[in-house]
Amino acid sequence: MYDKEQVKKIAEAFEHWQQRTENDMKKFPERKQKFLSSSGYEFKRCYTPLDVAELDYLKDLGMPGEYPYTRGVQRTMYRGRFWTMRQYAGFGTAEETNKRFKYLLQQGQTGLSVAFDLPTQIGYDSDHPLAEGEVGRVGVAVDSLRDIEILFDGIPLKDVSTSMTINSTAVILLSMYAVTAQRQGAKIEELRGTIQNDILKEYIARGTYIFPPEPSMKIVTDIFEFCAEHMPKWNTISISGYHIREAGASAVQELAFTFGDAIAYVESAIKAGLDPNVFGRQLSFFFAAHNNFLEEIAKFRAARRIWAKIMKERFNVTNQDAMKLRFHTQTGGSTLTAQQPLNNIVRVAIQALAAVLGGTQSLHTNSFDEALGLPTEQSVQVALRTQQIIAYESGVADIVDPLAGSFAVEALTNEIEEKVWEYLEKIDSLGGMVRAIELGYVQKEIHKSAYEQQLAIEKGEQIVVGVNAFQTKEEKPVENILKVDPALEEKQKEALRQLREQRDNRAVAKALKELKQAAQEGKNIVPYVFEAVKCYATLGEISDVLREVYGEYTESTSI
């Protein structure tokens, strides 16, 4: 970005400055020997034009909304419209969650995000022995279409955009959502929203897998195919680095493994005969925003550039829309502390600011009490207000990509990108992401990073305020931690029992039989799941049919 003569002068000045600084440091040493990023590379003392001398503005940054999208995927970014403020919510029964949704919409939230309980995520009905104690715990319990009808009662699905955190049973929940919308009178073509549907990261980090990788990838591809034709406004997948990061990955690993997964999905869809120019527009991403403010901003910017290059150069995509990395961000749950929980409000604000400066399309801010249990209405409100303050008061949303050109931010963006490519090469050399996961390579890398982070905290090399420094003697307990009523499980089971009595069981048996046959024959299963859902076949029944055909996965464990 600078001419050679100028660079030379700066280099000389920098050299002098370094010498003087080192002289000073004999008297006044720096706080640490090394200042390390979360990814283990070193932060320089000070960044100068020398660090970005090679940067080619038009090639490496481009204008906002233009390739390689380093500066953002829209031309006007938040000057046009703010990011979607989307708080993940869901607990207990569909009735209760429905109430919370209505409350959030009333408070100015602009999109819905559904959390499901673990039995729903792993394909068990509420009355399955493995579901005991887990019903309605970390999200809403869904056994059949009936629960989804209640969940969205009074909420016009054609007008809201809904994000559903669901993976191995995504095809079932998507079908239930679409059928509910149809019964409300909406056309499924107009539905907007996202299903997470990112099965690969479940094997790596989140653990709600059911089937082995191969049939799982087949289901993902079936959904791509179905939605490309019938639900063009729907994001068919949210390829998630969030959980990878939360499992202990560094910022670089978060991007590398997420793109590793993404490449596997794209390859699998291309293999199934789909056009990346078409389905590429329906891919979306999900990242975490952690504490290291500048590194996180650089991470988001690097992510856009890397993805654009992958789509253009690796997959020869020509459609600009299919090169744009659109992503949701959540602040880092694992950065929250149970000690002095109010401090978390500040952490969340800083992380949320990084996400906004990094150009996110939607954002979830965590509630300060989440290291203790489920968030209360009050803590959820503070979290949402944090976003609103950033949007309406801070002014950062008024300038597109305001940190571009910062020597530090651009240098970090380059550094992260470079390290991500190294990882992607390694994954390719192992035979691709599915293979790398089966080998346990990815899991091991993340575990190593998690253990190192923990040791750094143990040794006091990394400070966590209120945890290993600045502790207070007596902690005032947080009031009103929300708990799930244990009676809820019985209620849900009873409703399920009644459903099984009332529905047309012959129709259910027929639909399940047809689904099984379709799965065995390798047909696209989505339409068959739709039919099963319509006659109130349960989530567990549908999952069981697929388990029979596809088998079940056992994890790879090593440390």
Q: Which residues sit at the interface with other proteins, rule CB under 8 A? A: 118-119, 121-122, 124, 129-134, 137-138, 202, 206-208, 212, 214, 246-248, 334, 336-339, 371-374, 430-431, 435, 439-440, 447, 450-451, 454-455, 457-458, 464, 467-468, 477, 481, 483-484, 486, 551, 554-555, 557-559
Taking the least distance from each CB to other proteins, the nearer of 274 and 457 is: 457
Taking the least distance from each CB to other proteins, the nearer of 99 and 483 is: 483
State the Cα angle at 104 between 99 and 110, rounded to 5°: 130
At closest approach, how far in Å is the CB of 403 from other proteins?
31
At closest approach, how far in Å is the CB of 129 from other proteins?
7
At closest approach, how far in Å is the CB of 437 from other proteins?
12
Taking the least distance from each CB to other proteins, the nearer of 17 and 451 is: 451
For the chain, how many residues are written?
A: 559
What is d(CA 346, CA 389) in angstroms, rounded to the nearest whole number?
A: 13
At closest approach, how far in Å is the CB of 263 from other proteins?
17
Q: Would you list the DSSP string of 334-384?
A: GG--SSSTTHHHHHHHHHHHHHHHTT-SEEEPPPTTTTTSBPPHHHHHHHH
State the Cα angle at 488 between 486 and 493, rounded to 5°: 120
442: its two tokens: 């990815």
At closest approach, how far in Å is the CB of 348 from other proteins?
16
Taking the least distance from each CB to other proteins, the nearer of 207 and 402 is: 207
At closest approach, how far in Å is the CB of 252 from other proteins?
18
Taking the least distance from each CB to other proteins, the nearer of 186 and 338 is: 338
Quick one: which of 420, 245, 451 has its CA closest to 330? 245
Taking the least distance from each CB to other proteins, the nearer of 335 and 362 is: 335
What is d(CA 1, CA 54) in angstroms, rounded to the nearest whole number?
A: 7
Q: How many helices (H) and strands (E) does the chain have?
A: 20, 10
Taking the least distance from each CB to other proteins, the nearer of 92 and 359 is: 92
Residue type, position 263, single letter: I
Cα torsion at 157, 163, 168, 172 (round to 10°)? 0
346: its two tokens: 């500040």
526: its two tokens: 């989505």
At closest approach, how far in Å is the CB of 433 from other proteins?
15
Quick one: which of 326, 324, 302, 303 has its CA closest to 312? 324
Beta strands at 283-289 and 327-331: parallel, antiparallel or unpaired: parallel
Taking the least distance from each CB to other proteins, the nearer of 357 and 542 is: 542
389: its two tokens: 């303050």
At closest approach, how far in Å is the CB of 205 from other proteins?
8
